[in-house]
A and B are shown apart, each in its own frame.
Chain A
Amino acid sequence: MTTPTSRAENAKLHVLDRFRRVTQTFPKTDEILGYKSQGKKVFGWLCTYAPEEIIHAAGALPIRIVGYSHETDLEDGTAYFYVNNCSFSRSCLQLGLRGEYEFLDGVVGGSTCDGARRLFDLWRNYIGTPFHHVLTVPRKYIERAHNLYHDQVRQFHRHLEEFLDIQITDEALRHSIEVYNESRRLLKALYDLRKLSAPPITGAETMEVLNASFRMPKELFNDYLRELMDGLSTSGNSYEGRARLMITGSHLTNPEFIKSIEDTGGLVVTDELCTSTRYWSDPVVLDGDQTPLQAISKRYLNNFPCARMFPSDERFERILNLARDFRVEGVISQIIKYCVPYAHDRPLLTEKLQAQGIPTLSLDVEHGTSGSGQIQTRVQAFLEMLESRQR
């Protein structure tokens, strides 16, 4: 298992418990319900191409709609969605159908993948959330794609203003950009610590922090994260493993999955997931004559890309850079069954990583899996293979 290097037991960081608590009671967390009880609005977003800053600038709380973070029956989700849609989408829908997101005032989606767009369709038809908006998200990065996306972001901005009967000012947007960029800066600093030979935090712990990041008011999250960074700098904690690993692929929120990998001795030092690096990696850059909405739309379309984007080389290049920066020795590609964009890319990405001397372990999983049983056996064999290469 992942082992502390400098002392028998690494110090327990109590601030991590706060992040865990947010995760454990989600969606109905004290933070969200407390926000609602003040008469404020809460909006759920379905995909990282939905610009949170606009919701935040409207004085509302943006939270990410996710499914169960553990394995469970998806009876309702499957009945409404059918079995051949990814278990992430089915899981989200099931939580919605069962009233777990009943506090939401609105839902914002994007045309990102088949699962996401149908989740939006079914949500709109079967779950009585008052506000719905879906953005067309181009698949290219060229100038006209940016113009189109900017237009979409402006429409969303206008729609939200109409629904809330308020004006979302540029000043409010600038403030929200700063709050969200601060979050991104802090998360980057956290990830930089994981570049160390013996990082002070495990991959599983990092996932708990990330889960909280889109489930609570950002300002409060930033406070918690600052406290964590202070704690890490003085804790003297350090972890090593049999190999430094990166996780790529589909939506993942279950820290137990990463823990099971680390329990076999792998050390997860970075990732390419829409719940982590792809969520926080790029800041909104306000420069020149750009309006806040232009800066926001540019950031969201240019951000570390999802497998949906074209050309895929942009994503592959970023993954290879991560692998180099974090000195990754092996990649675990975890793809939820029926997550087609990532499944299509897998052969191409595997080949590119192989060309850099980085082996890939391909795991086909269901959303929420804890990674026990056969997965652990396969990770174990993968680690043995990586160790044999080191000898």
Chain B
Amino acid sequence: MTSTERKVNKIDALLRACRLMLRMSKARPEPRKSEIMYYQMLADYYTRLLNAREAGDFVAAHTVFFPSEIMYAMDIVPMHLETTSWMTALFLGEYADLLSAGAELGLAPEICSPHRGLAGAFAIDALPRPNVILWSNMVCDNTAKSGELLMKLTGCPGFFLDHPFQNSEGEMNYLVEELADMVRFLEEQSGRKMDWDRLSQGVARMDRQIELLRQVGKLRQAVPSPFHPQGFLELLTIDYLFAGRPEATEYLETLRQELAEAVSQGKGAVPKERFRLMTLFLPPMYLIGFLERISQEYGAVSVTEPFFCSWGEGRLDPSKPLESVARKSYMLPEMRMYGPLDDRALSEIVDSAKQYKIDGAIYYADIGCRHTCATIKLFKDVLDELDIPVLTLDCDVVDPTIASEEEIRDKLERFFELLEDR
């Protein structure tokens, strides 16, 4: 990579931001070990990506909910596209250049901003060129439709993983065959063979990680809740970027231990917990710092995120690695939003609301996310029956022009007042 490429490369900037966050975490009066591990993992992730070309590594850029376990088992460097998009907004606070480049390609403003930005990023070489593009229809039309344009922009070959909509035996078999085709594609493109033993080990670790995630979820039911107000984003990122990795297990073990200790001491994540909240969908990434501060200020903690943190039932079987990877995709919390929105999804909201003793819910209505926003009324009605108020915040996950910090503050403060009055 030339120095000029490094200069415009968002990965370089992200890496510097991760290292800064790492230093800040270490410098806290009471450093949280899991937080330090988290930022170290992020820094390592982006370091490997940044140096991939020089190291002769093979890079696969992939959309969200793609099984990165498979890439790790083949010693392929994954580049999680949407997370990289979010991180750019979260850590760098700059996204306008990418959206502008996406608009120049002719992408309509209604297309979700992370995907418009990703296309723009590749068009202006703000992201390093991968070796292949992998994408799937899990979880929306944007993920399903983004791949072909990215292939054209990067000049890379690509593989589209067709994830069935429902969960019958036939559909599970279909997905397993899709995954097998993807492995063959990666073998052909990378010249590397799948290491099935390594994948089995990854699946075994993933099984453990799911169990740890469930235990972490259980600990968050405690009053006061021990995990910091926007902590679920760490849990998401861990699964998105490090599924089946040893360091992810280590992080989750450490976090579970920390939370267990806090619960045993009756110690909450905020000085005085006043409002226990359910978070529905992704908050604006460029406001995470602000959301963390206002949560601390008002004693408002997100204790449950049913579509991000409530894993489905079941275990993974390392002796059947590919089947397990397919099975895992049906256990993902987000899968409840992908298949038919039946009683399974609605009962999860009710169960979460009761188990986590929530006072209110915040629905982040991301203007570019159609399939989630179409559930606002439905979920509100479900929570209404439990007499739980819902605040709907219009926003965009990366574009600050949709909702400013002032607007969000104003609405949150009024919502907290309403909760207080109740």
Report A's interface with B, CB cutoff 8 A: 79-86, 89, 111, 113-115, 117-118, 120-122, 124-125, 134, 136-140, 144-145, 147-148, 151, 307-308, 310-312, 335, 337-341, 343-348, 350, 362, 364
Contact = CB atoms under 8 A, between A and B. Distances in A.
B392 to A, nearest CB: 9
B371 A118 contact: yes
A115 B140 CA distance: 10
A148 B171 contact: yes
A140 B110 contact: no
Interface in B260-296: none
A340 B111 contact: yes
Given A134-B340, A138-B174, A350-B106, A113 B141 contact: yes
A15 B149 CA distance: 46
Nearest to A109: B340
22 contacts: A80-B377, A82-B365, A82-B374, A86-B370, A114-B370, A136-B168, A138-B174, A139-B162, A148-B171, A148-B174, A151-B170, A310-B148, A310-B160, A338-B370, A340-B111, A340-B142, A341-B144, A343-B111, A344-B148, A347-B105, A347-B149, A348-B149
A179 B314 CA distance: 48
Contacts of B144: 139, 308, 310, 341
A346 B162 CA distance: 22
Nearest to B171: A136
B375 interface: yes
B107 A343 contact: yes
Given A82-B376, A148-B164, A348-B152, A341 B141 contact: yes
A341 B341 CA distance: 21
Interface string B131-156: 00000010011101110110010000
A82 B162 contact: no
Given A111-B166, A121-B375, 4 more contacts: A82-B376, A121-B378, A122-B377, A339-B110
Contact of A344 (B111, B160, B340, B373): B111
B373 A84 contact: yes
Given A113-B141, A121-B341, A307-B145, A344 B371 contact: no
Given A81-B374, A118-B370, A138-B174, A145 B108 contact: no
Contact of B166 (A89, A114, A136, A312): A136
Nearest to A79: B377
Interface in B226-270: none
A82 B107 contact: no
B331 interface: no
A341 B146 CA distance: 9
B322 interface: no
A136 B172 CA distance: 12
Interface in B159-188: 160, 162, 164-166, 168, 170-171, 174, 177
B367 interface: yes
Contacts of A364: 108
A344 B377 contact: no
A343 B174 contact: no
Q: Pick the most buried of A80, A137, A344: most chain B CB atoms within 10 A of its CB.
A: A344
B79 interface: no
Nearest to A307: B145
The 10 closest A-B CB pairs, nearest first, are: A111-B165, A344-B145, A118-B374, A347-B106, A121-B341, A82-B373, A114-B371, A136-B165, A343-B108, A340-B141
A137 B174 CA distance: 12
A79 B166 CA distance: 27
A57 B316 CA distance: 43
Nearest to B153: A347
A122 B374 contact: yes
A27 B354 CA distance: 43
A134 B171 CA distance: 14
A100 B352 CA distance: 36
Given A84-B367, A136-B166, A344 B146 contact: yes
A132 to B, nearest CB: 9
